[in-house]
Structures are given as structure tokens and as C-alpha cells.
Structure 1
Amino acid sequence: MPERIRIGHSELAVAPLALGANVFGWTADRDDSFAVLDGFLAGGGDFVDTADGYSHWVPGNTGGESETIIGEWLSARGARDRVTLATKVSTHPDFSGLSAANVRAAADASLARLQTDRIDLYYAHFDDEETPLAETVEAFSGLVDAGKIRAIGVSNYTAERVAEWFEIARAGGYHLPVALQPHYNLVERDFEANGLNSVADREGLSVFPYFGLAKGFLAGKYREAGAAEAAGASPRAAAAAAYLDDRGRRVLAALDEIAAAHGAELASVSLAWLRLRLANGAPIASARTTAQLPALLASMTLALTADEVDALSSAAA
């Protein structure tokens, strides 16, 4: 079994992989989503990451589809106590921004869709510079006091704004964040130099990067042959195929070599690299079908050597 990690200074502990639920209600329908959630839980996973806005961008959707599917699955399986549940606020069309009233209303709406009485980890999804940060900080802390959320996370904030959140929270005696969700993977390395890594270390934040597989590129799905055709194969394929430059080819070559040495999938190696690069945290990766799950789950226990981690880092430099 994988070693569990504690989320910041909270009482939450999870296996070292979060299942990204952004595809639920988008490229995975209800039945496929149920099957993926079943397989993830059976394979040792226990951490599910979603947002209230998923997936409002799909024609015919209004937002909240992912949460609704997860809530129906939790109810059908009686699985609430076996899952650590993370969701986010600020992007649902009916609950945009991070004003205090909106944060409270959005949390209640998420609780209803998720069919639960508490959210384990609640993220501010995107910074809202039109709302005073102190108002947002107080609102999130109030949700902890009300028992509606257990812990606070911050996503897509700059290092300066994360630091400001902590300053406000300490000055006001509010609950502190315990998690950070940045964009970070083997080919997206800004996190290492933009101050977020430093603030996470300083404040003891667990880090849960999204797009851990660079929209499928780091799973080896988009290579030289067929890359153009692949660009039209799925909604995210064009963005993933954009990584196929000289640097991207070096990364794939390094992944191929290390994957072959371990008898592992490229996705497993890519996620293991990310897990091992984090002082405390775990990658987020999504699966549309159960066929994609084994490679993701294997990443939780795949042991790379220090030389292998360095080789991958150098290839992607």
C-alpha cells in the first residue's frame, strides 16, 4: 500500500494521488465516471478533486455536473467516509467570484450536489481581485467554524497573494490554508521559480499540482507520428500536442528509457517524478476510462532513483 501523506497541518491524510474529476460530465459520462471512481477506490486511491464550475464550458452544461456525478456515486456506494473530497469555488456561472456571500452560497450548493454534510478540502479556485482578500479569508474561516468544510486550500494564486492570505488570517485569528494547487508538471516548471514553492515550504502547505500529465502529453499520447491527427482527437489534444518540440522530444526519450527500465507506463513515471519532487503533496491526474487507471495508480508506489529523477529534470530543463 502507498504511504499516506498528511495535508498540511490538518487532520486529513490521503494516498499520494488525487483523482481529477474535471472530465466527469464532460468527456466521461455518468456510467464511465462511476466506473472510474469504483476502480480508483478499489486500487487504493481515496482523494478526489473537483470544482463547482466543472464542466460549465460544455454545450448544454450549466456547471456542477462533476459534483453531481460524484454525489450520486457517493450515495450509491455509501463511500463518503472512504473518500477525502476536495472542491473549489469561484468559477460556477451562478457563483462567480469570492465575495463572502458568494463563498457561503456556493459552499451550500456544492454540499447539496455532493450529497454530503462537509467538504474535506475547499479551495479558492482563482484569485478575485475585485473582492477584498480579507473578506474572502474571513468567509473561508467561517465555513470551517460552521463545520461545512474541514480545511482550506488556495489554487491559481501568486506567491505574493498566498503570503497576503496568511498575513490576514494570522492577524484576524482565522483558520490558515493547508494546501496549494498550482499548475506544475515535468514540462511546466514555473512553480519552481515563481515563489510558490518557497511559500509552500515556509507555510507547510501540501502541494497538489493539476495537469500532472500535461493534458496527456506526459503519458506519451502525442508523439511525432500522428500528432497532427491526435490534435483533433479530444478536446485537450491540441494543447497537449503543442508540447511536441525539441524539449518535448527529449522529455519523451528520457521517459521511454526510465519506463522501460521499470517495466512501467510513461504516465506512471511522469507522476512519480512529480510526487518525488514535492516536499509534501501529490499530483492530480484524471481518467476518462478505467483502462487509464492502472498507470495512474501505479505511480503511487513507483520508486525512481535520484539519478532517474535528475535525468528527467535535466531533459525538461
Structure 2
Amino acid sequence: MKKVKIANTELEVAPINFGGNVFGWTLDEKQSFEILDAFVDGGFNFVDTANTYSWWVNGVGGQSETIIGNWMKARGNREKMVIATKVGSETKVHPKDISKKQILKSVDESLQRLQVDYIDLFYTHFDDDKTPVEETMSAYDELVKAGKLRYIAASNVSPARLEESFAVAEKNGFPKYVALQPHYNLVEREGYEKNYLPLVEKYGLSVFPYWSLAAGFLTGKYRSEADLGKSVRGEGVKKYLDEKGLAVLAALDQISEKHNSKQATVALAWLLAQPQLVAPIVSATSKSQLQTLFDAPELKLDSEDLKLLGQSSK
């Protein structure tokens, strides 16, 4: 599998980023090990998690990092993997918090759960909108210098605070964000393309979108409200069952039939065709689902395909 270098780093990743939110939620540890083994066997090496996954199960989280840590220890493959995790997400027992105190504490806890000495890519998961940017960036500076973090990135940070982060880093010689993890897919385009893409281009960021398949809607599994009970995520896609969403599904159906592919594979291939986009974040709970993901980097959409998808998703 051909790997791509994350901008302004020494990290090279295969073009699918496995979303670890399923570990400890819809997959137990044994099942998680099986999926991770198959993912790596497919030539992939990039896993995304967060300190709070899966907090919706126990109110706190930590299960995903723990499972990934146990798996890397059992397989002895830490040096072959690129591991991303995060700080700042909100749970039932903890508010959003990117203060220096919380960041330092969270990194140490993540390192312990992952059973590693350093984290490859560390995200500001959610901005608390109150901690001074300089405080957050100085915490990252301390952690990078200590060797606990290699690089930093941003997820749900407003465009204004993102710009301020670069200004503060430049002024103080702090490490800068190298990547952005936005909410972006065929049915959720405007927020990223209007507000973030200009900043991605300005600062040369690599992009790893989350909800790449719109909580499963872009697999084509949900065609009506009667389909919503097919999975625990069903209710989350109800909002896409509108004229635009159904038009996107129709385009995916047409293109997947043309290429003898799956709708999800086409949706991911569309993402991979976008500027600066390196590896969409996507999960799987079976080996057949994994194969659908593996096929995406191999599927090259032509101009006609891209035009159809672009028009249907406006």
C-alpha cells in the first residue's frame, strides 16, 4: 500500500485512517484485535482514537485507547503504527477542557492506556472557547520538547481560534498544527469547504475528515425511515433522508454499478480526490466492511463521476 507523508512531518500513512471509536463499544477486545490485525494485514497503519472513546458506554471513556494499547503490546508493532489521539472532548462527568493542566494530565493518562512512550499525532478534539490559545499551545510545546508528542493537530476548533493558534505558535516558536480533522463528507460539505478549506490551503494542513460516511448513510443502507433500526447509528442519519441525501445515494448507486464497487467505496474515493485530503477516518466492524474501505484508494473516479457527485451533493 502506497503511503502518503503528513505535511510538515516525518509520518507516512496509508490513505485510510481507522476510527477507533468502535473499540470497546460495538467491538469487544477480541473482535477489536481481529479487525486491527486485518487492517494492518491490508497494508494500513494509521489508527485514530480519543481519550474519551467510548464514554457513551460507561460515562468516562478510555476503553478504545486501552484496547489499542493491549493490541500493540501483544503484536509488538508500535514502531509500525501511526497513532492519533485527542484531548478536550466532553463527557457526562467532564466538560470540554483544553487548559494546560488538563492537557498535561490527559497526555500522561493516554500514554499509560496506550502503553507507549509517545503519541504520533495529538489533537485538540474540541475547543473549550475560554482557555487562552497561548496556554494551550505552550502546553503542547512542553510536551513535544519532552518527547511525549511528535506532532499536534486540530479538530473542532473555530476558524478564528485556528488562525490565532498559528499566530501564537509563530510568535513564540511553539509547534504548529500539522493537520485538521473536520466533519466532511458528500452530504456535509459547506462547513468545511467554506470555512476551513481556505485555512487548510493557507497553512498547508493535511486533512483527515471524520464521519466520512455520514454515520453510515453513504453506505446506502438507509433509504427510508423504516431502515433506521438497522443499527445503533440509525437515528443519526434520519436528517439525511431528504431530497439532497437521496440524490447523493442515487449518484453513488450509478457510479458504484459502473465500477462494480460499493457505495461506501465510491464515497471514500470522492473524499480522496479532494485537495489536501490524505486519509478519511472510517470504522468497520467486520472484515467484509474492511474490504470496502480497502478498495477506496484503488478506485480512481473519472471526471464524469466527480461531476455527478459534485452536482448531487451541492
TM-score, length of structure 2 as denominator length: 0.96
Deviates more, 1:90-99 or 1:242-251: 90-99
Equivalence for 1:262: 259
Whether the 8 Å contact between 1:33 and 1:289 is mirrored in structure 2 is no
Contact 1:43 1:297 in 2 (8 A): yes
The equivalent of 1:290 in structure 2 is: 287
Q: Which moved more, 1:48-57 or 1:242-251?
A: 242-251
Name stretches of at least 5 consecutive residues in structure 1 with no aligned partner: none
Deviation at 1:130, TM superposition (A): 2.1
The equivalent of 2:47 in structure 1 is 48
- The residue type paired with residue 144 of structure 1 is V
Q: Describe the superposition over 1:253-303 as per-residue Cα deviations: whole angstroms up to 9, x where unpaired.
A: 111111111111111100010111132422110112222100011112211
Q: Which runs of 5+ in 2 are unaligned?
A: none
Q: Partners of 1:178 and 1:311 in 2: how far apart?
A: 32
Q: 2:29 maps to which residue?
A: 30
1:89 pairs with one of 87, 90, 93: 87
Aligned to 2:112, the other structure's residue is in SS state helix
Which whole-Å CA distance do the structure 2 matches of 1:73 and 1:123 have between them? 22
Structure 1 residue 53: Cα displacement: 0.7
- Secondary structure of 2:291's counterpart equals helix
Asked whether 1:172 is paired with 2:169, we answer: no
Q: CA deviation at 1:232?
A: 2.7
Q: 1:154 is matched with which residue?
A: 154
Q: Secondary structure at the match of 1:277?
A: coil
**Residue identity matched to 1:157:** V
Instruction: State the alpha-carbon separation in 2 of the partners of residues 87 and 192 from structure 1.
Output: 21
Q: 1:65 aligns with which of 63, 66, 70?
A: 63
- Counterpart amino acid of 1:287? A
**Which of the two has greater helix per residue?**
2
The TM-score with structure 1 as length reference comes to 0.95
Say yes or no: does 1:12 pair with 2:11. Answer: yes
Q: Does 1:186 align with 2:186?
A: yes
Question: Given that residues 95 and 102 in structure 1 are in contact (C-alpha distance below 8 angstroms), is that contact kept between their aligned partners in structure 2?
Answer: no
Question: Residues 192 and 310 (structure 1 numbering): CA distance in 2 closer, same or farther, change over 3 Å?
Answer: farther
One-letter amino acid of the counterpart of residue 253, structure 1: A
Contact kept in structure 1, 2:96 and 2:126, CA below 8 Å: no
Aligned counterparts of 1:95 and 1:312: Cα–Cα separation in 2 = 38
The share of aligned pairs that are identical, in percent, is 46
Whether contact under 8 Å (1:96, 1:102) holds in the other structure is no
Shift of residue 96, structure 1, vs aligned partner:
4.8
Residue 198 of structure 2 corresponds to which residue in structure 1?
198
CA distance in 1, matches of 2:59, 2:198: 38
The structure with higher relative contact order (CA 8 Å, sep 6+) is 1
On the 8 A contact 1:53/1:63 being kept in 2, the answer is yes
CA distance in 2, matches of 1:177, 1:249: 36
Stretch deviating more after TM superposition (138-147 or 188-197): 188-197
Q: Is the 8 A contact 2:72 2:78 kept in 1?
A: yes
- On the 8 A contact 2:183/2:192 being kept in 1, the answer is no
Q: Distance in 1 between matches of 2:95 and 2:6?
A: 27
**Contact 2:248 2:312 survives alignment (8 Å):** yes
SS in 2 for 1:112: helix
Q: CA deviation at 1:192?
A: 4.1
- The 5 Å alignment of 1:273-284 reads 273-284=270-281
Residue 216 of structure 2 is aligned to residue 219 of structure 1:
no
Counterparts of 2:305 and 2:184 in 1: how far apart (Å)? 19
Pair 1:245–1:280, CA change in 2 (3 A): closer
Q: Once the 2 structures are TM-superposed, how far is the Cα of residue 236 of structure 1 from its aligned partner?
A: 1.3
Q: Give the conservation status (yes or no) of the 8 Å contact 2:271–2:277.
A: no
Residue of structure 2 in register with 1:245 after alignment: 242
Q: Please give the per-residue CA displacement for 1:102-136, whole angstroms capped at 9, x wherever unaligned.
A: 10110010000001111000000001222111100
Please tell me whether the aligned partners of residues 137 and 169 of structure 1 are also in contact (alpha carbons under 8 angstroms). Answer: yes
SS of the counterpart of 2:298? coil
For 2:109, the equivalent position in structure 1 comes to 109
